[in-house]
Structure 1
Amino acid sequence: MPGKIVSQEEWLTARKDLLDKEKAATRANDAFNETFRDFPIVKLEKQYTFDGPNGKATLTDLFEGRKQLIVYHFMLGPDDDAGCTGCSFVGDNLPSSLAHLNTRNTTLVLVSRAPLAKIEAFKKRMGWNLPWVSSSESDFNYDFHVSLDASIAPTEYNYKESAPDVKGERPGLSIFYREGAELYHSYSTYARGLDGILVTNRLLDLTPLGRQDAGKDGWKLHDEYSEDEKKGGSK
């Protein structure tokens, strides 16, 4: 039993107290989000090319004519046949329709170093309609510190230097802004910084049992759960 059993009157008193805390947290979060409105941006000088379903595409092309671009750096490397379970969990939590983002002058795209054929195969397996391109022929992943290989670029992740022998793909999210023909990098976040886009976690946070991470190995690909797991496991 996760919580104390109380009367309806005691519950209502506790709920009103929690409501005050919720409102304070919401106001604090609104104030924090305002810092992004005038956060510094950096002009991009390098050109990047990607492989997409319609052929070669530049970073500018990925904007699809809009002002803002959100890139999720998905961990699917050249030698991988399936995506990372954590990144796949993110993929399951991204909007099923991008129309709402698009009407706010914003495009969303996934980027991985795997060749396009592997991306398309895994995307089909997961049943996603999210735009997804390959950065296999550019420095994009290395420049934004989600592919680590000291022989190619200095290894850094989440704004800290990594050991030179650390290699491989890492998750992240980067935001870009376009003003005419000029492109700018406004923000990148990694690791626990991605938690805010995980709706599943937020929903679980509202429940008595919470995220239930203790004793678990983490999330699976959504087509790998057993029927018992999908029923909730233990009763």
Structure 2
Amino acid sequence: MTTTRTIGTRQEWLAARLQLVAQEKELTRRSDELARQRQALPWVRVDKNYRFETEQGSATLAELFGGRSQLMVYHFMFGPDYTAGCPSCSGIADGFDGIAVHLANHDVTLTAVSRAPLETLLAYRRRMGWSFPWASSGSSDFNADFNVAFTAAQRRDGGIEYNYRREPAMPVAAPDQCASNGAGCSKEQSPVQFIAAQTGTDAATFTRDRPGMSTFVREGDAIYHVYSTYARGLDGLWGMYQWLDRAPLGRNEQGIWWRRHDEYAS
């Protein structure tokens, strides 16, 4: 991507910057208003008895709150057939440890939830050097009910509703022969196939899990679902993009450039 560049004087820069300041302030005010609208959404009571596997043993949704009144769940793409977590979700999760302690001291628990077995999740967490809570929902309907996990039949028949829209049916494709080869594969790959290969799967298996974030609140014994967002709605949680949007060349992307933090060349 080419970024338009001009050379100017300090006075010209200041004039342009002041115009941009006005627009940034308007965006901030709009963002504040959207936050108020999120908080004004109706609360929907959660009556299903979801079970999770955690480091402390089997847990209910209420127990994931950790004694706090609010719970924020990051739906981390790590399906039961993955050999490693989604690299994009991993980039977002790199910021969790630093922020989770602040949230915990503001009555909010942050946890990741995925369908992969707990021992697989914890092994990957150790590899990444993270410490935030991570629960396996593999034995429950939690991911399916919050529209981040789908069956092969849903994918085939057009039964996937993700990011508040229904996706068209996807034809059954031959297995992706590059799934085990990663970046060194010689086959022409789509971005989804490329990322799927980094998780040790093919595109069809990889896309049965999707990323998202959901929030819950507890009042007494009652738990309510308040908010969920998906896809580009997660941009604000991906710390590196907030920095790149302020960098001289912006995101400046050509294909899938990011990697897990332990995969960049030193």
On whether the aligned pair clears a TM of 0.5, the verdict is yes
Distance 1:85 1:207 in 2: 22
* Equivalent residue, structure 1, for 2:264: 225
Distance 2:69 2:168 in 1: 37
* Equivalent residue, structure 2, for 1:187: 227
* Equivalent residue, structure 2, for 1:159: 164
Query: Is the Cα contact below 8 Å between 2:160 and 2:167 reproduced in 1?
Result: yes
Question: Greater strand share, 1 or 2?
Answer: 1
Distance 1:95 1:187 in 2: 22
RMSD over aligned Cα, in angstroms? Answer: 1.9
* Equivalent residue, structure 2, for 1:144: 146
Distance 2:136 2:169 in 1: 25
Q: Does the residue aligned with 1:19 lie in a helix, a strand or coil?
A: helix
Aligned identity (percent) is 46
TM-score, normalising length from structure 1?
A: 0.90
Distance 1:35 1:27 in 2: 13
Distance 1:3 1:163 in 2: 40
Q: In the TM superposition, what are the counterparts of 1:1-235 in structure 2 within 5 Å? A: 2-149=4-151, 155-163=160-168, 168-213=208-253, 215-227=254-266
Q: Which runs of 5+ in 2 are unaligned?
A: 171-203
Q: Does the residue aligned with 1:98 lie in a helix, a strand or coil?
A: helix
Query: Is the Cα contact below 8 Å between 2:97 and 2:131 reproduced in 1?
Result: no
Distance 1:182 1:192 in 2: 31
Deviation of the 1:86 alpha carbon: 1.0
TM-superposition CA deviations, 1:159-204 (whole Å, max 9, x none)? 2223465761111111111111100111111111111111210111
Distance 1:201 1:97 in 2: 16
Deviation of the 1:95 alpha carbon: 4.5
Distance 2:66 2:237 in 1: 22
The runs of 4+ residues in structure 1 deviating greater than 6 Å are none
Query: Is the Cα contact below 8 Å between 2:71 and 2:110 reproduced in 1?
Result: yes
Q: Which runs of 5+ in 1 are unaligned?
A: 228-235
Distance 2:218 2:224 in 1: 6
Deviation of the 1:131 alpha carbon: 0.6
Distance 1:32 1:106 in 2: 20
Distance 1:98 1:221 in 2: 20
